[in-house]
């Protein structure tokens, strides 16, 4: 069956049920996409399990972050509802009962992340407060009728959930047939509360809820609702035609900012040894840039992360080793010969081989078994590197995050990127932060050291016992200094006193000079010495443990490095692609005839390129006749002159047709549009090639 | 953007537009084949460079201001500068970039500063070129050899290697959108025939002029889900589809949309519905976009629903199918679509009603050479219809006309004298065709 038709735009193809593939496995596509099916099954399994772990991890993070917010909301709902129930007689409360308790939830600009939040919110409410929760979205409710219909539908569906055992005839009535009005809603509500009151609350779900549970309506993305619809709804649900905003008793709740959310996610996914998969500096930078400059969406960040995982396992045959150390060691033993060759081809491994003695070099390049042993050792090294990297990074962050102007960035992710990029201790920023650190005051320094001790103690690295010892020693010394400090102060006070004693101008000058002299050449105080020592110690740690990952052998196995792929698929620039294709077809069509220099394009280029190029030279309006003429001049220059009049007429027609085709293509692409300002003119829609 | 010149300067600019055009043309004629010698606009490549050059651009505007006061306005300031100061090798590229930036801005204002358009008055009619109709256009294009066929083929083969990767990513929850110059129809067709043969799939020609979201949803509910019945609104229908797909996990559907950015589908509501559809885990969407502003269709919310992975598939294939429906500027409006709809509607009417329409059509054709033909006035029309025994009262005629109007077969307008005039909004050739066809039928 063809998919071209002048009467139809949609074509459904249904293969006969016999032929239909029975749920094709995603793994098969993974294999198919990999021609060298090198361990592809295992790779895919590893990939999937890793993704599953990461997904659940991120969901957990989200849940924890939302917990506080939800707790507040729940308590607000309980409070407002119980108030309403208890004091119905009081006058103030009766006034209040005309108002609808409302919680305004401010979630920030990252709209796309809200879906999840709302979903879990309505779950929480359903579990803790009331079974009657309706979640309304602006896009579903263009009018008050739709809104009511949605509302009723959701409320009555959830009451099916609750008493699914009872056979209530009204439940069976399809929602379309219920007259969707407030009165029916009220009667439904009275009906349902009567029933739960009369019944003993034996059902577990009900018992957790309040007596005569409130109805909670959640409006998602309130701004995009039509004001009319909202006004109507609030108006009728309070049954009082008062000015609408006075009917809401609003309390504000604020969610965590998305940046904090991202920090937590990065903390949990990247700065941990839990996951073997890592992102290289460039890739991480791309993801963070998309987040900061495009959408503020943590969801999208995670999506990008997923893409990284898929791409990595898909493109790197050695990614089969990208798993927990114990498992990876096992897998090394079963590597095939060609996989061993793959390892030998890794740039980082080649560097490693070159640094070895010649006998070992030969063994590494020829004996697979020896190679495997070495790989195991190297993988272990890499693992230890990661184990040490994270605590030292955090430790360094403790220092840099409190320096004025944050030369190495405020967030740990910035520091992480800097460390991944190149040797951080060679950068200017690092130098200046050390200098600033040498000027920290004592109390700050002590608290920082204490924090560092905590970090190292809680870390899993095995080499940090000595480090902790040393840090504690520093702390003890600082404490000792405190005792000595009084003495020092005494000295300075005495010199001050001396200064006050002399009244003679000559002597005063002399003492001042002396004082200045002594200050300049003054030996460092004990505190300052200690401070230098501490900073040097940290500096040493950094130099030892924060080596960039791409200096490590076999880093290619763990680190996803193809930032270009990521940018291309997530943050594509379709306009630039079009522009390049039109301006410089040689980029795509590798034909020598199209090769050009200085930006002009060959007259043999595809018609659309020529027409495009010609149109760039026109103003706002383009005369079609002139355009056609210019086009045929250009094209004819290639075809050569044809003497035969009849034949040339035909050629003329063909050129005409080609021109028409090219112009309609430009119209389709949105470069021009027909204009009625002048006969046979079109209007240009773009300027300066963009 | 602020122009450096004051009001006087702007006036100056207007005056010299033609000069510049002429200059350009002369320069181009001197060049090889009349094609521009412009360097490729590489500044598009990176946004950071864009912003980096901003401050310097301001500086340059300052300089331009000075230059402008010195030079007595025979040339545009930018040109003066380029000619007078030979820049050192080192700063050349930077300067060129800046020049280009300011040229770009100038170009825009040049083109838009005056309401007068300076183009020649030649028209196609004077060229004695017959307007081609769609069929001859097709035939002619068939005769023209496809340029660079081997290269294009190679390009396509590169894209075809991605098929299984697409399948993998579709199954992992992403949707795929293709962009880049050239028709992606053949590529997607190839994808369909080589990979999707054994699964249920839906092909949507977005470029089809009367495609609607409704028809897409209908084909899913009616043909894929085999549901009989109608829905009150697309939203209901969407909900039904979503429910069905969620309930039955064995249901899977691949949706291929050629030109998701077409005129008919680019609306906010259509995109919202398609985005929601594509967010279902068992619906796999792969679509192509061509318009330069296509990404503007989607806000953050829709983008996250679509969950796109972008793939550049520049094919350089001509957009033959995609442009075949378009009533292009140069193509004679064959009106074949209008004709088929005319006959279709008319066939369902009573013989009398058809006669009424015929009368109107004939009258319109008789007057086709009169450019100020206002239409047939209602009174005259009633008279004629009575004479032909087609109606017996003006009420029946009115009822009939209402029906025509509902089917957009006629248009009424009130003339200056307050009389109602009736017109058939179809071009004359179609109308002639229609009458001929009617005659055959009778």
Write the DSSP assignment of A446-488 as a string of letters: HHHHHHHHHHHHHS--STTHHHHHHHHHHHHHHHHHHHHHHHH
What pLDDT shows up at residue A57? 92
Q: How far apart are CA A397 and CA A448, in angstroms?
A: 10
- Closest partner residue to B34 (CB to CB) among A576, A618, A634 is A634
User: Would you list the DSSP string of A21-77?
Assistant: -SS--HHHHHHHH-SS-TTHHHHHHHHHHHHHHHHHHHHHHHHHHHHHHHHHHHHHH
Put simply, the chain B residues between 81 and 100 with a CB less than 8 A from any chain A CB are 100
What sign for the dihedral angle of Cα B215, B216, B219, B220?
negative
Q: Are the C-beta atoms of residues B422 and B375 closer than 8 Å to each other?
A: yes
Q: How far is A607 from chain B, CA to nearest CA, in Å?
A: 9
Domains of chain B: 148-312 (3.40.50.300), 335-441 (1.10.10.10)
Per-position b or e across B392-421, b if 16+ CB within 10 A of its CB: eebebbeebbeebeeeebbeeeeeeeeeeb
Burial of A483 (0-12, 13-18, 19+ CB in 10 A): exposed
Q: Does A314 sit within 8 Å of B165, measured CB to CB? A: yes
Contacts of B327 (CB under 8 A, 6+ apart): B333
Count CA within 13 A, CB hemisphere, residue B185.
18
Q: Of A516, A480, A622, whose CA–CA distance to B329 is shortest?
A: A622
CB contact B143 to A (< 8 Å): yes
CB contact A597 to B (< 8 Å): no
| Residue in B closest to A590 by C-alpha | B151
What pLDDT shows up at residue B63? 42
The CA–CA distances, whole Å, from A399 to A391, A402, A423 equal 13, 6, 18
Q: How far is A619 from chain B, CA to nearest CA, in Å?
A: 5
Return the number of other C-beta atoms located less than 10 Å from residue A586's C-beta. Answer: 18
ipTM: 0.81
List CB contacts (< 8 A) between A620 and chain B. Answer: 111-112, 117
Contacts of A466 (CB under 8 A, 6+ apart): none
What pLDDT shows up at residue B37? 38
Q: Does A678 sit within 8 Å of B117, measured CB to CB? A: yes
Would you call B413 helix, strand, or coil by DSSP? strand
- Closest partner residue to A668 (CB to CB) among B164, B208, B319 is B319
List CB contacts (< 8 A) between A670 and chain B. Answer: 291-293
What pLDDT shows up at residue B277? 93
Q: Of B304, B209, B295, B58, whose CA–CA distance to A9 is shortest?
A: B209
Q: Does B28 sit within 8 Å of A9, measured CB to CB? A: no
What pLDDT shows up at residue B337? 53
Put simply, the chain A residues between 133 and 172 with a CB less than 8 A from any chain B CB are 139-140, 146
Strands A559-560 and A278-279: parallel
Put simply, the chain B residues between 254 and 313 with a CB less than 8 A from any chain A CB are 272, 289-295, 300-301, 303-304, 307, 309-312
Q: How far apart are CA A50 and CA A276, in angstroms?
A: 9
CB contact B321 to A (< 8 Å): yes
| Residue in B closest to A21 by C-alpha | B198
| Residue in A closest to B328 by C-alpha | A664
Residue of A4, A9, A310 for testing the chain B interface, max B β-carbons within 10 Å: A9
Token pair, residue B391, equals 């109606």
Q: How far apart are CA A75 and CA A77, in angstroms?
A: 5
Whole-model pTM? 0.74
| Residue in A closest to B153 by C-alpha | A589
Q: How far apart are CA A581 and CA A672, in angstroms?
A: 17
Residue of B329, B333, B341 for testing the chain A interface, max A β-carbons within 10 Å: B329
Residue of B36, B98, B119, B227 for testing the chain A interface, max A β-carbons within 10 Å: B119
Q: How far apart are CA A533 and CA A389, in angstroms?
A: 22
List CB contacts (< 8 A) between A32 and chain B. Answer: 164, 167-168
CB contact B34 to A (< 8 Å): yes
Rounded CA Rg of chain A: 37
CB contact A688 to B (< 8 Å): yes
Per-position b or e across B304-315, b if 16+ CB within 10 A of its CB: bbbbbbbbbbbb
Q: How far is B292 from chain A, CA to nearest CA, in Å?
A: 6
- Closest partner residue to B199 (CB to CB) among A20, A606, A614 is A20
What pLDDT shows up at residue A500? 58
Angle between helices A368-400 and A337-345 (to 10 degrees): 40
Q: How far apart are CA A582 and CA B35, in angstroms?
A: 13
List CB contacts (< 8 A) between B189 and chain A. Answer: 3
List CB contacts (< 8 A) between A623 and chain B. Answer: 119-122
What pLDDT shows up at residue B286? 95
Contacts of B303 (CB under 8 A, 6+ apart): A112, A295
| DSSP-derived secondary structure letter, A291 | I
Going from the first residue of chain B to its last (442 residues), give the mean pLDDT of each consecutive group of 10, the final group possibly shorter.
Answer: 38 37 42 38 38 38 40 38 42 56 72 68 66 73 80 90 90 93 93 89 88 90 88 86 89 92 88 92 94 90 90 91 68 55 78 88 85 83 89 88 82 81 79 78 62
Going from the first residue of chain A to its last (690 residues), give the mean pLDDT of each consecutive group of 10, the final group possibly shorter.
Answer: 75 77 67 68 89 92 84 81 58 54 74 76 78 75 74 67 38 44 69 53 36 66 68 60 52 78 89 89 93 87 93 90 90 90 92 92 91 92 91 91 86 91 90 89 88 87 83 88 62 54 72 74 75 90 91 92 91 89 87 72 84 87 88 79 61 84 90 80 74
- Closest partner residue to B179 (CB to CB) among A574, A680, A681 is A574
Q: How far is A48 from chain B, CA to nearest CA, in Å?
A: 10
The CA–CA distances, whole Å, from B302 to A382, A457, B276, B289, B306 equal 41, 46, 8, 15, 6
Contacts of B93 (CB under 8 A, 6+ apart): none
List CB contacts (< 8 A) between A669 and chain B. Answer: 181, 290-292
Return the number of other C-beta atoms located less than 10 Å from residue A291's C-beta. Answer: 19
């Amino acid at each position: 069956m063809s998919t071209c038709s002048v009467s139809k735009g949609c074509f459904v193809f249904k293969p006969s049920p016999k032929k239909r593939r029975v749920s094709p496995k995603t793994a098969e596509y993974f294999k198919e996409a990999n021609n060298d099916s090198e361990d592809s099954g295992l790779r895919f399994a590893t990939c999937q399990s890793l993704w599953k772990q990461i997904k659940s991890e991120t969901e957990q993070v989200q849940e924890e972050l939302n917990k506080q917010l939800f707790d507040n909301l729940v308590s607000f709902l309980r409070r407002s509802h119980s108030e309403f129930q208890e004091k119905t007689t009081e006058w103030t409360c009766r006034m209040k009962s005309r108002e609808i308790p409302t919680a305004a939830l401010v979630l920030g600009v990252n709209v796309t992340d809200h879906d999840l939040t709302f979903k879990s919110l309505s779950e929480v409410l359903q579990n803790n407060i009331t079974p009657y929760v309706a979640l309304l979205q602006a896009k579903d409710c263009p009018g008050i009728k739709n809104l009511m219909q949605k509302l009723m539908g959701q409320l009555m569906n959830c009451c099916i959930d609750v008493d699914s055992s009872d056979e209530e005839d009204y439940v069976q009535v399809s929602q379309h047939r219920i007259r969707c009005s407030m009165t029916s809603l009220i009667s439904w509500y009275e009906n349902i509360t009567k029933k739960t009151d009369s019944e003993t609350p034996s059902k577990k779900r009900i018992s957790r809820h309040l007596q005569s549970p409130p109805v909670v309506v959640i409006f998602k993305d309130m701004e995009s609702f039509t004001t009319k619809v909202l006004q109507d709804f609030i108006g009728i649900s309070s049954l009082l035609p008062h000015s609408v905003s006075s009917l809401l008793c609003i309390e504000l709740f604020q969610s965590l900012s998305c940046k904090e959310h991202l920090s937590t996610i990065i903390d949990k996914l990247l700065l941990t040894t839990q996951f073997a998969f890592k992102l290289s500096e460039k890739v991480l930078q791309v993801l963070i840039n998309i987040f900061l400059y495009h959408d503020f969406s943590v969801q999208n960040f995670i999506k990008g992360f997923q893409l990284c995982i898929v791409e990595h396992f898909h493109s790197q045959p050695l990614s089969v080793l990208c798993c927990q150390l114990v498992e990876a060691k096992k897998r090394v033993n079963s590597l095939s010969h060609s996989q061993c060759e793959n390892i030998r081809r890794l740039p980082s491994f080649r560097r490693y081989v070159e640094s070895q003695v010649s006998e070992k070099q030969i063994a590494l390049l020829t004996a697979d078994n020896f190679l495997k042993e070495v790989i195991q050792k190297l993988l272990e090294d890499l693992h230890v590197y990661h184990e040490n990297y994270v605590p030292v990074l955090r430790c360094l962050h403790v220092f840099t995050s409190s320096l004025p102007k944050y030369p190495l960035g405020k967030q740990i992710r910035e520091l992480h990127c800097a460390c991944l990029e190149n040797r951080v201790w060679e950068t200017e920023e690092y130098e200046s932060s050390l200098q600033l650190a040498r000027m920290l005051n004592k109390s700050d320094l002590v608290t920082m050291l204490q924090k560092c001790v905590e970090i190292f103690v809680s870390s899993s690295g095995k080499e940090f016992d000595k480090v902790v010892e040393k840090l504690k020693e520093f702390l003890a010394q600082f404490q000792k200094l405190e005792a000595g400090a009084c003495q020092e102060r005494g000295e300075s006070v005495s010199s001050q006193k001396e200064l006050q004693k002399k009244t003679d101008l000559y002597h005063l000058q002399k003492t001042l000079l002396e004082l200045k002299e002594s200050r300049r050449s003054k030996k460092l105080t004990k505190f300052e010495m200690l401070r230098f020592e501490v900073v040097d110690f940290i500096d040493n740690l950094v130099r030892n443990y924060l080596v960039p990952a791409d200096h490590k052998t076999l880093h290619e196995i763990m680190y996803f490095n193809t930032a270009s792929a990521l940018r291309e698929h997530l943050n594509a620039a379709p306009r630039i692609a079009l522009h390049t294709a039109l301006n410089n077809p040689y980029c795509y069509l590798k034909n020598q005839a199209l090769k050009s220099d200085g930006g002009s394009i060959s007259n043999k280029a595809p018609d659309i390129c020529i027409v495009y190029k010609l149109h760039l030279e026109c103003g706002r309006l383009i005369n079609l006749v002139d355009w056609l003429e210019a086009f045929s001049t250009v094209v004819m220059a290639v075809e050569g002159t044809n003497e035969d009049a009849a034949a040339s007429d035909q050629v003329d027609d063909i050129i005409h047709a080609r021109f028409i085709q090219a112009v309609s293509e430009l119209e389709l692409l949105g470069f021009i549009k027909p204009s009625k300002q002048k006969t046979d003119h079109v209007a240009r829609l773009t300027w300066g090639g963009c | 953007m602020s122009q450096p010149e004051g009001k006087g300067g702007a006036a100056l600019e207007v005056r010299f537009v033609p000069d510049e055009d002429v200059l350009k043309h002369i320069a181009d004629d001197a060049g090889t084949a009349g094609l521009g010698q412009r360097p490729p606009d590489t500044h598009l490549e990176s946004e950071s460079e864009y912003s980096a050059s901003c401050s310097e651009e301001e500086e340059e505007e300052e300089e331009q201001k000075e230059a402008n006061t010195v030079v007595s306005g025979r040339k545009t300031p930018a040109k003066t500068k380029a000619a007078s100061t030979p820049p050192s090798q080192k700063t050349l590229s930077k300067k060129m970039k800046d020049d280009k930036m300011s040229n770009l801005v100038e170009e825009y204002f040049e083109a838009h500063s005056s309401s007068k358009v300076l183009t020649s008055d030649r028209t196609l009619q004077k060229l004695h070129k017959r307007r081609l109709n769609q069929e001859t256009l097709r035939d002619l294009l068939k005769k023209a050899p496809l340029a660079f066929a081997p290269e294009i083929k190679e390009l396509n083969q590169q894209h075809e290697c991605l098929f299984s990767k697409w399948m993998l990513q579709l199954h992992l929850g992403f949707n795929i959108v293709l962009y880049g110059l050239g028709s992606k129809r053949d590529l997607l067709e190839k994808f369909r025939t080589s990979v999707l043969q054994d699964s249920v799939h839906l092909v949507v020609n977005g470029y089809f002029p009367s495609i609607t979201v409704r028809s897409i949803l209908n084909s899913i509910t009616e043909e894929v889900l085999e549901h009989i019945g109608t829905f009150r609104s697309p939203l209901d229908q969407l909900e039904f589809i979503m429910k069905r797909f969620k309930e039955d996990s064995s249901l899977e559907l691949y949706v291929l949309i050629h030109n998701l950015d077409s005129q008919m589908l680019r609306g906010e509501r259509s995109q919202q519905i398609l985005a929601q559809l594509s967010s279902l885990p068992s619906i796999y969407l792969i679509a192509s976009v061509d318009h330069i502003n296509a990404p503007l269709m989607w806000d953050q919310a829709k983008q996250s629903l679509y969950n796109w992975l972008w793939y550049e598939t520049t094919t350089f294939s001509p957009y033959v199918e995609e442009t075949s429906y378009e009533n292009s500027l140069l193509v004679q409006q064959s009106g074949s679509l209008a004709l088929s709809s005319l006959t279709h509607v008319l066939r369902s009417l009573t013989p009398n009603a058809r006669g009424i329409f015929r009368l109107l059509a004939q009258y319109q054709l008789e007057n086709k050479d009169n450019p100020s033909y206002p239409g047939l006035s209602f009174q005259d029309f009633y008279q004629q219809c009575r004479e032909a025994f087609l109606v017996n009262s003006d009420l029946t005629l009115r009822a009939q006309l209402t029906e025509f109007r509902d089917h957009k077969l006629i248009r009424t307008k009130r003339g200056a004298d307050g009389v109602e005039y009736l017109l058939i909004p179809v071009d004359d050739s179609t109308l002639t065709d229609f009458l001929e066809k009617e005659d055959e039928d009778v």
